[in-house]
Structure 1
């Protein structure tokens, strides 16, 4: 492989884009052509945008945004930060219309074929899998898409088709689509495994055991810690929301009970909403608890590092119980995780949900563990 060849990053969420920035930060010094223009002095908002003619053109970040407004807003904010750091960022619509996927495939196909290295944030994405089909890249890097990385590595190791852990079997039409798509999915799985003339790197904060031959690199949020903070600490406790209700995993009433119990027991004052949580659900939480509901405009790792932030951050099983201890190391903030009682699971939840969420909790490092039973409001 020619390490100085062009690198193409494909991201679909704010967290993925943040983790591409973290990955690029770790490569600086070893690969000068990945080095962005040095940051200008002064607050981030006051920095002069680098001259595009001086920006290293070997790392091209392509944002494939989802359709929901909150995710798009977060992506635009962190894309602006990436440009301020000196990286070339392309916004490519691939959803939202019948012709958008085909136009995006046509637009990105040449860059995919030229790339010596491809960085992906969501190996479960069908669109990303389609893009990987014509790729002859000698190196493929997978950066974290949250806790989904744990399931990705496990499924790849077992030789299973890639399927998000919270998805259920679906109906006949869904199964027919899966069957028709099987050749593309199978080709993507082969490209995501190391082979002759192809290296695979996993850049992650998650506790995973990579496949033989896969290079594992720790994402300890060095770029985030270098650029932001340390934060000012408040006296209250912050609670991190989750989209487990929206994905059909947790019963809505049980979730409301759990938030009420945590608020009483731990002095919670602010609730950081997940970008997929619905306004109706958040209104119910605010009415029941009196909490200040915060809609973050950046990934929580950046929000917490910039501050102000509570001395204790409580979360249900999610990505942040693995990432925040890295991002907030040395700040004095305690991260606590509240387990999910099996009784909270919705009737239609995936059979894998309980075990997966327990694994997220049990493998978290440098966190305080709160028993699920202590959050049940009604006995």
Structure 2
């Protein structure tokens, strides 16, 4: 999957590893009027079996024809089937916007990282701007050490963006919030020089600008970093407005899978929340395990929905409940923006401290409370009691 013959490399090169990151790259490109119609015979490389005509099947309104320099978008594909499926669909939407998409089997065996990094190195050296969605990713940090791009952009990867900006402002090493508090492991120590170099690449200098494109509340802005608000204008322009049902929908979370919340406590909370608000559907997070979802369905009677696109697009397309119930997560910040102008109410339920596991990071409760407390245009629920 080499770049098109005869090109010196893209002006803007974006790296994504999740569907939400790809969505936010599209939002960033829309906000900066980046987009181009593809020339005949210059179609981008794609993963074998990728769907076609997706935009039409989802009822997406066509682009009015953005002009300017497009971007080359590199998907560093994970192995998780659900994530891969959503990424394939998002990649098709990106192509419909006129962006070039390059699919990399970045984790397909021991040699895959070396092959991927080697193949991307010429593009990285040629790019004038690099856009990335997860500054905590070791893969992305390694790629950052290769580029000399004078412009670096970080788009939202959910609530992790809040922690990234705070750590950058305080000059701390980059550590995901749910891992913070533990001692660095052998792999962390081995990778530390690469991580430190990547952090320097993410720090503005006289010859390098850094932009953070985010819908998250950012209190500590590092010196020299430009923060641009993501208001989900692309999503609202292309999808909906949705048909709204009378009931309530519940949004799942991967806090159990990341070891933050006890599985039994989570099941009790979902059961109580669904009963109290009359929820009938449970929109699963792409990282939730099949066994956990099977138990939830059996114990609560909820219909489990595995979204094939990020929830912001699913909700905007509809049908969606008049009330959306969520635990602290990215969607309590993004859904009110994506659903602006509708009558949908987003309600967030706090995480009770008793739900946390013994191995949860010492910062977990404070971070999750901050996610809830800083959300705008949401109704805040107290933590629910078991039924």
The TM-score with structure 1 as length reference comes to 0.91
1:41-80 map, 5 Å:
44-45=56-57, 58-80=70-92
Alignment-derived partner of residue 31 in structure 1:
none
Offset of 1:57 from its aligned partner?
6.6
Distance 1:360 1:290 in 2: 29
Offset of 1:35 from its aligned partner?
2.4
Alignment-derived partner of residue 349 in structure 1:
360
Question: How many pairs are equivalent?
Answer: 359
Offset of 1:134 from its aligned partner?
1.8
Offset of 1:181 from its aligned partner?
1.3
1:241-252 map, 5 Å:
241-252=252-263
Is 1:285 the counterpart of 2:296? The answer is yes
Alignment-derived partner of residue 16 in structure 2:
11
Offset of 1:37 from its aligned partner?
2.8
CA gap of 1:241–1:225, structure 2 versus 1, over 3 A, is same
Q: Of the candidates 254, 258, 270, which is equivalent to residue 259 of structure 1? A: 270
Offset of 1:196 from its aligned partner?
1.2
Is 1:371 the counterpart of 2:382? The answer is yes
Distance 2:378 2:181 in 1: 34
Q: Of the candidates 358, 361, 379, which is equivalent to residue 369 of structure 2? A: 358
Contact conserved, 1:7 with 1:116, CA < 8 A, in 2?
Answer: yes
SS, match of residue 185 in structure 2: helix
Offset of 1:352 from its aligned partner?
1.1
Contact conserved, 1:55 with 1:86, CA < 8 A, in 2?
Answer: no
SS, match of residue 314 in structure 1: strand
Contact conserved, 2:329 with 2:371, CA < 8 A, in 1?
Answer: yes
How well do the aligned residues superpose, as a CA RMSD in angstroms?
2.2
Unaligned runs of 5+ in 1: 29-33
SS, match of residue 256 in structure 1: helix
Contact conserved, 1:56 with 1:87, CA < 8 A, in 2?
Answer: no
SS, match of residue 212 in structure 2: strand
Alignment-derived partner of residue 270 in structure 1:
281
SS, match of residue 249 in structure 2: strand
After superposition, what is the alpha-carbon deviation per residue over 1:150-198, rounded to whole angstroms, capped at 9, x for unaligned? 1111111111111111126667xx6222222111111111111111110
Alignment-derived partner of residue 95 in structure 2:
83
SS, match of residue 302 in structure 1: helix
Distance 2:293 2:55 in 1: 33
Contact conserved, 2:169 with 2:223, CA < 8 A, in 1?
Answer: no
Alignment-derived partner of residue 187 in structure 2:
177
Distance 1:110 1:133 in 2: 13
CA gap of 1:19–1:363, structure 2 versus 1, over 3 A, is same
SS, match of residue 163 in structure 1: coil
Q: Of the candidates 326, 333, 358, which is equivalent to residue 322 of structure 1? A: 333
Regions of 4+ moved over 3 Å = 45-48, 54-58, 168-171
Offset of 1:45 from its aligned partner?
3.2
Distance 1:269 1:47 in 2: 25
Distance 1:46 1:238 in 2: 20
SS, match of residue 24 in structure 2: helix
Is 1:158 the counterpart of 2:163? The answer is no
Q: Of the candidates 22, 26, 29, which is equivalent to residue 24 of structure 1? A: 29
After superposition, what is the alpha-carbon deviation per residue over 1:46-76, rounded to whole angstroms, capped at 9, x for unaligned? 999x9xxx99774100000111000000000
Contact conserved, 2:182 with 2:361, CA < 8 A, in 1?
Answer: no
Alignment-derived partner of residue 200 in structure 1:
210
Compare the two structures and name the one with the higher helix fraction. Answer: 1
Alignment-derived partner of residue 37 in structure 2:
37
Offset of 1:253 from its aligned partner?
0.7
Is 1:121 the counterpart of 2:133? The answer is yes
Alignment-derived partner of residue 160 in structure 2:
148
SS, match of residue 283 in structure 1: helix
